[in-house]
Amino acid sequence: METADLVDRSKIVVLVTGASGYVALHCVKQLLEAGYSVRGTVRSKKNEQKIRPLLVLPNAALRLELVEADLLKPDGWDSIVDGCTYVLHVASPWPIVADETTVLTAVKGTQCVLQAAARTRSVKKVVLTSSCSAINDGHRNDERIFDETCWANLESPKVEYYARSKTLAERSAWEFWEKLDKDTRFQLTVLNPTFITGPVLSDVENGSCTIIGRIMHLKTFLACPKACLGLVDVRDVAKAHILAMTNSATDGERILFTPSPVGSLRHCCYPITIFTAPNWVLKLYAKLGIDPIVEAVLPESWPGIKILTTRRINEEQRESDVPNVESAE
């Protein structure tokens, strides 16, 4: 049995970085519902638009503590991590059009959190949110069947800054963790979801909802590109973070989250547009520089990508390497 099953969960403090973010908000909500105490980091407690969705969550008044933190400023992180049993490092920038600062923030932020966790005796495990882009970007979609053993090809000029940021941040996390003393280090699990969608708990703009919003509006989505889009529910992703947190079978593992098989974008947008954009039209439009988002879609263009996840999480089968993840209802 895990520690969380033997004691009062309210005495277990879980740190969630970037607590006001799209995925992190769902993590905080589910943690509070499960009885845990949560310490969430935010850039500013004065930003009411971002922190209000956290404060109105059930049990937030009793078991949620918000602290100000900056991923690029290591000072103060030791005190933030101190006393936490688990760390969910969810915070990572995802602008639709990323740049070099996205890479810097992701890598330095990850190192900042892990270094603080390594210096703090209370931390037993860190769950890091990565992305499928750290697995399959920079390769031809039909080059192979991608799984948790694959890494993005950063030598490819087609790799965008966001994918580069997730890949370098995850690689730096594993490299740092492997160098720690095996007898005293915290455990580490990395989750690599495909495109995350589902209900929002905040009206703050985020990358996933911006893209879905464009797809749902005919004025910004006149024709559907021949692209793949593996959709996963944000509630499932949050649940996976919490299951991985106390599941020893996930220690030292990367876990890829994706539907099987990955479908085409056409399945998502048929009610919006009946037209399909040929690849040559998409490439021509991207070169015109009118819409920078189109450039990010090009690597996902046909042929369809094949992704296989070999490691899963299950509450009842904690010691199994290949259990099941329940879907959100």
Catalytic site positions: 166
Find where tokens 């793949």 sit: 228
Whole-angstrom distance, CA of residue 23 vs CA of residue 201: 9
Which tokens hold the place of 178?
A: 């492997």
Q: What is the DSSP string of 259-317?
A: -SSPPBTHHHHTTT---EE-HHHHHHHHHTTS-HHHHHHGGGBSSPPEE-------SS-
- Residues 240-256 as b or e (16 or more Cβ within 10 Å = b): bbbbbbbbebbeebbbb
Of 116, 110, 114, give the one whose Cα is nearest residue 91.
Answer: 110
Whole-angstrom distance, CA of residue 86 vs CA of residue 187: 10
